[in-house]
Structure 1
Amino acid sequence: MRFRYTFQKIVDLKMNEKTQAEWMLSEAIGKMRAEESSLAELEKAKHEMQEELHKSSSQVTTVSNLLMMQSYVNHIDDRIQLKHRDVQAAKTIVQLKQDDLTGKMIEEKVWTKAKERAFQQFSSEVLKKEQNQLDEMATNRFKRLS
């Protein structure tokens, strides 16, 4: 006799949902890292421009050139602020995906445990039937020999 779990399709579905949630989390983490990388590049560009502005202020340069550089630094600051929001949004999405994955893992574990309990019950029933058959065979043999 072979074990066949009646809710196997649900177990498979829960496993697939968990796998999809893992992929979604991985994708969200990738996007978050891309946003963080972009933010780091902006901060590096700002730092470089500030150094250049500082060097230019100690050298002979035009006021319009200094104003243009300061305007560019301000523009980078604005982009950095926007990028901070993007990074925060990406982190929020990652947290939501992690929470979703946690829920999917719990659901999968519940169904897997239910399947394991059903298998244990099936195994004990099979063992009980086998023992009953062996007992019956022993009783019949005893009756024949007596």
Structure 2
Amino acid sequence: MQLDMRQIARECRANHGLTKVSLGELRAEIGYAKLGNWVLKYIAEGLQEQELGFFPVGLLDPRVNEKPRQSQSLWIYDAAAEDSLLAQVAEIISGSSNYRDEDVFSIMTGLGSSDSHTLRLIRELVLPKP
């Protein structure tokens, strides 16, 4: 099956690189009738094919989200956008990119977010709950 997330990618990019969608919308986008644990993997693959990132990251991980619901919401961001501060922060916090320490410090202090309280709040948004 062709994983077609082009419409989601267009919506995200038209909305300044960030949009919020439900798992039900994403499920429909790739053509499945029902949402199950195994569909989460296909959704994640479809987003990656369009160079889109998402958070909270655990929502598309069947080990974390054991009972996915169509009403659960996911933030989609344009991971391919050059100089996207949002993409950089999401990738730093989720650990999905290998930024050098100097780059992390520069990006986070540029946000005014070098204090541990702000970083903790960002992690709560981006990372799955244990």
TM-score range, shorter chain: under 0.3
TM-score norm. by structure 1 comes to 0.20
Give the structure with the larger helix fraction. 1
TM-score norm. by structure 2 comes to 0.22
- The answer to which structure, 1 or 2, has the higher relative contact order (CA under 8 A, 6+ apart) is 1
Larger radius of gyration: 1
